[in-house]
Amino acid sequence: MTRTETSTAPTMDEQTHTSEAESAVKTRRVEMQSRDAQPAPDPSEFAVIDAIRRGETVPATIHDAVEDEPHVLNVQNFRLWYGAAQALFDLNMNIPRGKVTALIGPSGCGKSTFLRSINRLNDLIPSVRTDGELLLNGEPVYAPDVDVIDLRKRMGMVFQKSNPFPMSIYENVVYPLRIDGERRKSVLNEVCEKALRGAAIWDEVKDRLHQPGTGLSGGQQQRICIARAIAAEPEVLLMDEPCSALDPIATLKIEDLISEIGQRYTVVIVTHNMQQAARVSDYTAFMYLGRLVEFGPTAELFQNPKLPETEQYVTGRFG
Amino acid sequence: MSQAPLIQSAGDANEPRHVKRRTPLAVRGEPMLWLTGMALTACIFMIVALLGIVLWNGFATFWPRDIHEVKLDNGSVFLGVPTREESYDPGPARLADIRAESETLPAGSLDDKGLPKRRLYRVGNKEVTGQPFQWVDLMDIESIEEPKDVVLLERTEWGIWLGTPETILLKEERFIPATADGGIPLEGMTQTKWGERRFEREILESTDEGARVIERTYVAETGPDVWELLPEMHRDADKRRARIKSLNKHDVGFINMKMERARLAFREVQLQHEDGKVSDERLAAARATFEEKQETLEAEYEELLEEIRELERIDDRYRIVVRDPTSGAFAPRAQTEPDEPMRLSQIVRVVRANDLGVGGRLGVYFSRWWEFVSEEPREANTEGGVFPVIFGTVMLTILLSIIVVPFGVIAALYLREYAKQGLIISMVRIAINNLAGVPSIVYGVFGLGFFCYTLGNYIDNGPTNPWSPGMWWVGSVGTVVILLCAAVIGALGRPTPGQPPTRRNKILGGAAMMLWLGTLGLFIALIAKSPFFDGFFPARTTFGTKGILWSALTLALLTLPVVVVATEEAISSVPGSQREGSYGCGASKWQTIRRIVLPSAMPGIMTGMILAIARGAGEVAPLMLVGAVKLAPELPFEPYFPYFHLERSFMHLGFHIYDVGFQSPDSEAARPVVWTTTFLLIVVVVTLNLAAIAFRARLRKRTRGGAF
């Protein structure tokens, strides 16, 4: 089974997307292993997780507080395959507007895949196939007539590893406007300053905007990337483990920044770090093996979750 | 020495370990270290030897050497520049004789094995000696002297002349009116700008009014006087020569060009008239304009010719007598006129080799180098300079990179960024890589057959057997229909975004692809068989023959794989995270390529260009077929519109080496030129490469610096 899936991997666009292909395979492998090895502490306690491991469809536990919020993203029966391997199973969730939503879960549970489905970055992998609905402010994301490029312009994305472009700090930040054909110096200057202030890095780089950012630290680079992501005033800001490659101090700064940005933008953040999810997010979704398990306000999910599995996971005793 | 690692023997862990005293050599890998080191040393030695030999010979060529006055045992005396020495086997009988009298031979005339040594002298003076190089047995030499007053003349024609300068004189034919007593003084003194000088006259024909005489005024009659006046007079003569040359080349050339243009303009009207497209009146008008223009141009030409003749008459007065001691003859103005001393302006350089200090020699040395790189070749390329050759090489290389880089980069972009990686693309890639291994002469044959004869001929004369207009129109309409079909089917076959292509998508896509190819083929056929195109140069062959453009295209094809491979490499090494970042910002694929991928890949692309230059600049075989010639009458560049003449043939350093070295009538004289040209070829290639490397370093700094 696993072998047949690996053989589909080389048909994908080689350099860019091997990581996704691997993760797809990994998802599957985790599934297989868990089926074979059954490492869970006490099966009787974890009914939902066990059902998921058996491949059964279990309705997610979604707190009412989530449903009461106004939503920016509606996900309905969303499914995704890498070739023959299914990575996301019948996701149904509504992401609240103007809040920070954290996606947590063990490695290979499909958090990043889901995040990349929101701005259709998964389109870059030829073998990916999707099904179901995903609505951004009521408009379908996966309709045939959707302009992907325009769609992506409505969202910003920050990646796990900071990826500034080989150009000056200024050009990096105004990149989304440049590709939109914006040439007015005044507009660009204004946006650049606003974005850099928004990313809390203006004071550090304002004197060297037109220099390449040689000598910027990892955290500063990541903040430049955040500035770039918010430069075009996105409807949703997607963050894929933005702090995983940073040292604790830089992480702290970025976390502060996320909390601050969360007051102005809708943020969806994928994280491996429970404390981070607890600190920065308003809502948290717990995913497992491509399925949503529990989704609720962060405080409630961490202190008083409805499922015992969630409690075990957030306290670090499982996963 | 490194410590010998402990190797545990099998068995109980508590047993004392068996410790090996030494690790085997093969394990430590020391022999491999020696082997690799030796291989590298051998490589370095070979490269240094190659460069060393070329540099040494290249640099040594122009150093002025002493002139020997050699007196032989048989009493004859000659002047010569020693070139090289060797031992030789004169045959058993002669060898026995030599051995018998070896005691009496001068020291050093035999080598260690008792073989006689001989020396090659460059004796020049081709008009009297017949052969400019001469072997002399060392044992036959009675004495060698190095007289201070002998000179080596580098002449514009007939190679060098060795001799002693005796006189500088003014010789002219003029009319002298008879004096009151009816006589004409045949000797006397006259005032010249150099002072009072002796003159002689020789009457050709005399009448009552006076006589036509040949008058010789001796400006300098002794060695020291000659030396005093020669530098300045030679400089003046040089200027006159340059002026005459410039008038002949540029001014006359300009008039010729205008004449040719007028002729072609008229010829075109004439051709159109033959086709019935132009009325008789317009033809007559065109003829009138042409004739009028021709008249004015001819008048201009006459005027110019008059000026040139006058300059040449003046130039012809200044003569110098440089006598060869062996034959007693002096350097003649022309081979057929042994009694006429040569003109001053026929001297390129006077080297008084035996009287020069190091400074003087350096002066001669550098002036020879300067002449070599800035002048045109003379004497079947064995003398003079190689400026047109350098120019041709550099222009060809630049042209080649201008063509090959965009082509290669675009092809590599499609291969790496757009094409679906699969069997077909792998095959294409392998094919491209294999192109690099095709022998270069194959490209030459292709270039000659396709570029020169097919494409060039099409540009000159239009299609050879065009379709009839009716058929052409049918074809055009068909092409448009197929094009539309391809577009429609392609659009229908587009897979839904976000979904993998279905079977139907694939079939329709394949069909669309075939139709696109068909359209392309038809389009090319429509151009190639158009009945409405009669060529741009129907009146003469312009592009349909060897030329620098075709050479550049052929070499571009030859170096294309290098650029494609390097660019692909560079593109694929751009991190995927940057592409994703760009897509995440809402950039399209092309925007990502243009703004992120290409700038990052630029240094790698430059590497490809450097490799292409390195390969292309040194290539000779294909050029022999498609463009390089022994002697190009004109550069592919002119200082007036349209400046570049890409249809012209050109000279190339690589081909020049071959030509001078192996096709030259005088191989001894050519030998130094081969070395210097080889040296220059290395210099040109290295310079072009260094320029590209410097450019790449700048780019790299910019992108590296930008990459945080």
Cα A279 to Cα A276: distance, rounded to the nearest angstrom: 5
User: How many angstroms away from the CA of B564 is the closest CA of chain A?
Assistant: 18
Q: Which of 234-273 (A) contact B at CB < 8 A?
A: 238
Per domain, the residue ranges of chain A are 2-154+234-314, 166-233
Q: What pLDDT is recorded for position B519?
A: 95
Q: Are B526 and B479 in contact (CB under 8 A)?
A: yes
Q: What pLDDT is recorded for position B52?
A: 94
Q: Are B169 and B216 in contact (CB under 8 A)?
A: yes
Cα B648 to Cα B628: distance, rounded to the nearest angstrom: 10
For the stretch A153-199, pLDDT in tens is 889 999 988 888 888 899 999 999 998 888 899 999 999 999 998 88
Q: What pLDDT is recorded for position B524?
A: 92
- Chain A hits for B707, CB-CB cut-off 8 Å, are 164, 166, 212
Cα B598 to Cα B602: distance, rounded to the nearest angstrom: 6
Task: Report whether pLDDT(B148) > 50.
Answer: yes
Q: Which of A278, A282, A279, A309 is nearest to A294 (CA)?
A: A309
Q: What pLDDT is recorded for position B407?
A: 92
Contact A166 B582 (CB under 8 A): no
Task: Report whether pLDDT(B500) > 70.
Answer: no
Q: Which of 32-61 (A) contact B at CB < 8 A?
A: none
Cα B318 to Cα B172: distance, rounded to the nearest angstrom: 9
Q: What pLDDT is recorded for position B498?
A: 56
Closest in B421, B499, B584 to A157, CB measured: B584
Cα B592 to Cα B699: distance, rounded to the nearest angstrom: 19
Specify the pairing of strand B68-72 against strand B77-87.
Answer: antiparallel
Residue A131, C-beta contacts closer than 8 angstroms, at least 6 positions apart: A77, A78, A79, A80
Contact B584 A159 (CB under 8 A): yes
Q: Which of 128-187 (A) contact B at CB < 8 A?
A: 128-130, 142, 144, 146, 148-157, 159, 161-168, 175-176, 178-180
Identify the band that residue A13 occupies on the pLDDT scale cut at 50, 70 and 90. Answer: very low
Q: Are B243 and B311 in contact (CB under 8 A)?
A: yes
* Mean pLDDT over each residue of chain A, to the nearest integer: 82
DSSP B324: -
Q: What is the mean pLDDT of residues B359-388?
A: 88
In sequence order, what are the beta bridge partners of B202? Answer: B214
Closest in A130, A152, A213 to B586, CB measured: A152
The CA-atom distances, in angstroms, between B568 and each of B90, B405, B436, B604 are 63, 13, 15, 9
Identify the band that residue A19 occupies on the pLDDT scale cut at 50, 70 and 90. Answer: very low
Q: Is residue B638 helix, strand or coil?
A: coil
> Torsion angle of alpha carbons B671, B676, B677, B681, nearest 10°?
140
Q: Please give the single-letter amino acid code of residue B400.
A: L
Per domain, the residue ranges of chain B are 1-50, 68-150, 160-351, 387-462+540-706
The CA-atom distances, in angstroms, between B220 and each of B173, B325, B332, B671 are 20, 20, 18, 37
For the stretch A252-280, pLDDT in tens is 888 988 888 888 889 999 998 888 999 99
DSSP A95: E
Identify the band that residue B182 occupies on the pLDDT scale cut at 50, 70 and 90. Answer: low
Contact A130 B499 (CB under 8 A): yes
Cα A290 to Cα A52: distance, rounded to the nearest angstrom: 9
Cα B635 to Cα B622: distance, rounded to the nearest angstrom: 20
Q: B418 to chain A: nearest residue by CA?
A: A13
Task: Report whether pLDDT(B455) > 80.
Answer: yes
* Mean pLDDT over each residue of chain B, to the nearest integer: 86
**ipTM attached to this prediction:** 0.82
Per the structure block, which two tokens stand in for B463? 């299609």
Task: Report whether pLDDT(A8) > 80.
Answer: no
Closest in A19, A127, A213 to B708, CB measured: A213
Per the structure block, which two tokens stand in for B453? 């004869």
Per the structure block, which two tokens stand in for B692? 């590209």
Cis peptide before B642 (omega within 30 of 0): yes
For the stretch B346-361, pLDDT in tens is 888 888 888 888 999 9
Q: What pLDDT is recorded for position B651?
A: 92
Note the CATH number of domain B387-462+540-706. 1.10.3720.10
The whole-angstrom distance between residue B371's C-alpha and the CA centroid of its chain comes to: 15
Indicate which of A8, A11, A13, A15 best probes the interface with B, i.e. most B CBs within 10 Å of its own CB. A15
Q: Which of A268, A290, A299 is nearest to A105 (CA)?
A: A290
- Chain A hits for B585, CB-CB cut-off 8 Å, are 152-153, 156-157, 175-176, 179, 228-229, 232
- Chain B hits for A176, CB-CB cut-off 8 Å, are 585-586
Q: Are B87 and B115 in contact (CB under 8 A)?
A: yes
Sign of the Cα torsion A56, A57, A63, A64 reads negative
Q: What is the mean pLDDT of residues A208-237?
A: 86
Q: Is residue A56 helix, strand or coil?
A: coil
Given CATH 3.40.50.2000, say whether it is the number of domain A2-154+234-314: no
Please state, for a pLDDT cut of 90, what percent of chain B lies above it.
31
Please identify which residue in the block is written with the tokens 């057959």. Answer: B449
For the stretch A72-104, pLDDT in tens is 999 999 999 998 899 999 899 999 998 999 999
Q: Which of 59-98 (A) contact B at CB < 8 A?
A: none
Q: Is residue B210 helix, strand or coil?
A: strand
Specify the pairing of strand A100-104 against strand A283-288.
Answer: parallel
Cα A303 to Cα B256: distance, rounded to the nearest angstrom: 98
Per the structure block, which two tokens stand in for B549? 């453009």
Interface residue B434 vs chain A (CB under 8 A): no
Interface residue B429 vs chain A (CB under 8 A): no
Per the structure block, which two tokens stand in for B604? 């790698």
Interface residue B580 vs chain A (CB under 8 A): yes
For the stretch B558-600, pLDDT in tens is 999 999 999 999 999 888 888 999 999 888 889 999 999 998 8
Please identify which residue in the block is written with the tokens 């969630």. Answer: A310
Q: Are B486 and B515 in contact (CB under 8 A)?
A: yes
Specify the pairing of strand A85-96 against strand A71-82.
Answer: antiparallel
Identify the band that residue B499 occupies on the pLDDT scale cut at 50, 70 and 90. Answer: low
Cα A108 to Cα A128: distance, rounded to the nearest angstrom: 16
Residue A33, C-beta contacts closer than 8 angstroms, at least 6 positions apart: none
Interface residue B423 vs chain A (CB under 8 A): no
Please state, for a pLDDT cut of 90, what percent of chain A lies above it.
26
Q: What pLDDT is recorded for position B550?
A: 93
Identify the band that residue B298 occupies on the pLDDT scale cut at 50, 70 and 90. Answer: very high
Please identify which residue in the block is written with the tokens 């430049």. Answer: A224
Contact B587 A166 (CB under 8 A): no
Q: Please give the single-letter amino acid code of residue B344.
A: L
What DSSP assignment string belongs to B459-516? HHH--SSPPPHHHHHHHHHHHHHHHHHHHHHHHHTPPPTTS---HHHHHHHHHHHHHH
Alpha helical stretches, state H, A236-315: 248-261, 274-280, 298-303, 308-314
Cα B92 to Cα B97: distance, rounded to the nearest angstrom: 9
Q: Which of 472-531 (B) contact A at CB < 8 A?
A: 496-500
Closest in A129, A157, A162 to B500, CB measured: A129
Cα B391 to Cα A230: distance, rounded to the nearest angstrom: 55
Q: What pLDDT is recorded for position A319?
A: 60
Contact B705 A17 (CB under 8 A): no
The whole-angstrom distance between residue A139's C-alpha and the CA centroid of its chain comes to: 20
Task: Report whether pLDDT(B46) > 80.
Answer: yes
Task: Report whether pLDDT(B194) > 90.
Answer: no
Q: Are A130 and A91 in contact (CB under 8 A)?
A: no
